[in-house]
Amino acid sequence: MASEDVVGKSRGDTAVTTIVNLAEEAKLAREGVKAPGHQVLSICKSLVAGGVAGGVSRTAVAPLERLKILLQVQNPHSIKYNGTVQGLMYIWRTEGLRGLFKGNGTNCARIVPNSAVKFFSYEQASRGILWLYRQQTGDEDAQLSPLLRLGAGACAGIIAMSATYPMDMVRGRITVQTEKSPYQYRGMFHALGTVYREEGFCALYRGWLPSVIGVVPYVGLNFAVYESLKDWLLKTNPFDLGKDNELHVVTRLGCGAVAGTIGQTVAYPLDVIRRRMQMVGWNHAASIVTGEGKEALQYNGMIDAFRKTVRYEGVGALYKGLVPNSVKVVPSIAIAFVTYEGVKAVLGVEMRISD
């Protein structure tokens, strides 16, 4: 599913909400308990956990992911996909089981390094922001507020998205091409090379700006809401959900689902614009984009894409594909968070998001 900005922090936070307990880790760091080699190993394990979480979660919802992109970019003059159930059945009928997972290989190749970098960057950004916050306040026991956690999540999203954006760009094109497309990308590397030769290097970053802007509410809110919900449940322990100071896996799934729903709803129009901008300049575009011989709209930038989309298709076009995306993002984000923490526990990584 991209673009973000730096989020400032509020100096008026007099009552700092406890979001994550890093006291023990900070104490060990000050005492110099951990050797450099141990730290490197922990970092590597954390990266592996993030990559596995991303790959597993995206594969589980691959059919809905493809349908979402098809709904986002299809030409309004030639509607083939009209709703979640009809769309999935149409793909099954015309392309079979393989069609439901088209583009998933490229998506996993992208999401594994993306998730690994995102989760790792988030933990590092959280540590850095927490250290600066404690230095400014003089309170060694201070914890991250939701606003500071939002900033850490946004930084992580920007870094991860920028590092893997060309892969996401070609993944979108591979996903929408069908057997009837005039020219077939044979895979991620073939698509990257073709786009570079025919459209230039800048084409690989087409749609980057709305992606960056969208990272703030999407990734930032995902992390902030998830961590805040977990902390609130542990502190208040409603219905005995925080028994023994640990949340059950089902409860953590619920936290991830709520976080994903809020983040994707706020950022969704930017995701639609990003996908449409990625299709601009495609010399052999799939029929779903061109509308069976009709000329696809051309956009001169993010604002122009917003303006033309609303003018010719209405405000509702900014939310095309929202239903399958909502169905997809809830289990996807929830599975990603739980898998991430589960893999880290198996690998014996001490620095956990929720510790």
Query: Of 63, 251, 80, 54, which Cα lies nearest the Cα of 156?
Result: 54
The predicted pLDDT at position 350 comes to 56
Instruction: Determine the topology of domain 15-168+187-347 in CATH.
Output: Mitochondrial carrier fold (1.50.40)
Paired tokens of 337: 């968070």
The predicted pLDDT at position 24 comes to 39
What parts of the chain have a pLDDT lower than 50?
Answer: 1-36, 351-355
Paired tokens of 107: 């998506």
The predicted pLDDT at position 319 comes to 92
Residues 9-42 pLDDT 10s? 333 333 333 233 333 343 334 444 444 456 667 7
Q: Where exactly are the structural domains of the chain?
A: 15-168+187-347
The predicted pLDDT at position 294 comes to 58
The predicted pLDDT at position 107 comes to 83
Q: What are phi and psi of 273, to 5 degrees?
A: -65, -40
